[in-house]
Chain A
């Protein structure tokens, strides 16, 4: 399965990664090689197999819906890691284009 630069560009947009032209070409070659390799799975004859998502039954176990104030981080501690903040909110560029 060969991925052309157009395919790579589409996937990179979905993944929110800007690639350089050079990266796009190399990614196309690398991904094509891996996609060729994974075709070895066709030999297993998996048409009637059930997909497996979890290896054991202990997943998404529920717990009491109790708020634990001590486990909540203070606002200033959280915002201290923010690239841009006004001390109350995370600051981001406009999300809705109002032009």
Chain B
């Protein structure tokens, strides 16, 4: 089998050994918990750890003919996915003591596939942020340099997988919240096609873009999790029919990218791009060509239009979605003599600054007299952006450009400048607006030892192409078994 410790095993290795009775699921979980004991004082990946994993005796049965894909696999899940009987905070003080009475569909499917959910991971409050600094419970830290952010909003899951506290992780994306932390922590981060993974039980931020995403240390592990969790869910009215891909038939061999065409929007690679990130892009382009893929130039609208469109639409949807946190049925309540003041005082006390900022911006964009100038205009821009990405993907199997303009930034560096923080997501937002699948993959390290990432964007429902390209890079550049693990601070 392998003489590496369990916490370095892939999800595929663990599932195979546990299903065959060659490894004990409890021992595998204990090895990951020992990693958590070592790392958590330095990185704070989890808001709630669950010793032994969340019990799965209430798991639904797999469909006939389906075999479990995640037997014994330790998984970290973002704390905006509801878990029956386990506290779910969304990183917010307004839900500090909230214990959901039901499971999100993806949580139920993890349990059904035999996964061991070892904890609820840290996030920017209600997934609003790019660094985890907006968590109501303190930030997570980047294990490759603990003075830097791990990215966000799904930073906690990224840190857990990067440090061997979990083999794979779930996050969620509205504007890059899986891909950006994956790029900052030497992981693969998938944002599936909109509708691919059920949103039932994912606490809503901006419903027209929200999507559950997958962190993994290899293409094979990411595809495995996607295959286990996808499939139509009648509880989500935007759920797509059918599975995402046929995991058993997916070719992740050295020839898999042969003949694929990859489009590169050169104009994006100009001013403001960090030298090490540009170098990562060059290395990946060369590796793809060595793997038999063709690289050609494509043109895209400036991504500043993605950011502008996103921050009108996402905040507008958030202002509506977060109206449910009102101190009446669950969560924090601040007492008042009348119901209007109860709402106002509860939300003032329970929400952090960024959540308030976005609710106010969204309320403004939807308000009488401003709707057409802001929300309406952004909806028009969204159609233009979707058409623009579709045109760029004509004649290409995928687009390739950096996940982020820079590697991980320092804690506090952007905390007081919301617009600067928003611009750290500038390259990821297009896929969310257009509903396309996108995958961030490792692209080496800076001279200072910080991970760099680039991303592929494919046509809707072509997650298979994304993982094939990622696998080709593993064959050309770095075998996941040889991964560069972070070193724990002394």
Contacts and interface: CB of A to CB of B under 8 A. Distances in A.
Interface in B355-407: 356-357, 359-361, 363-364, 367, 374, 376-384, 386
Nearest to B347: A17
B234 interface: yes
A49 B364 contact: no
Contacts of A44: 301, 305, 381, 384
Contacts of A81: 98-99, 101, 329-331
A14 interface: yes
A12 B360 contact: yes
A93 B342 contact: yes
Contacts of B374: 35, 38
Contacts of B328: 82-83, 90, 92
A46 B377 contact: yes
Interface residues of A, number: 54
Given A51-B379, A83-B331, A38 B308 contact: yes
A94 B339 CA distance: 7
Interface of A, secondary structure class, is loop
B241 interface: yes
Contacts, number: 169
B329 A82 contact: yes
A2 interface: no
Contact of A53 (B333, B356, B357, B379): B379
Interface string A75-99: 0011001111000001011110100
A93 B380 contact: no
B344 interface: yes
Contacts of B102: 73
Given A51-B379, A90-B328, A37 B194 contact: no
Interface of B: 98-99, 101-102, 194-195, 208, 234, 237-241, 301, 304-305, 307-309, 311-312, 319, 323, 326-333, 335-345, 347-348, 351, 353, 356-357, 359-361, 363-364, 367, 374, 376-384, 386, 418-419, 422, 433-435, 460
Given A44-B384, A50-B380, A58-B241, 10 more contacts: A7-B364, A17-B356, A27-B360, A41-B308, A46-B380, A50-B383, A56-B195, A61-B237, A81-B98, A93-B336
10 contacts: A11-B360, A17-B344, A35-B374, A41-B308, A49-B383, A50-B380, A58-B240, A61-B239, A78-B329, A81-B331
Interface of A: 3, 7-8, 11-20, 23, 26-27, 30-31, 33-35, 37-41, 44, 46, 49-56, 58-61, 63, 73, 77-78, 81-84, 90, 92-95, 97
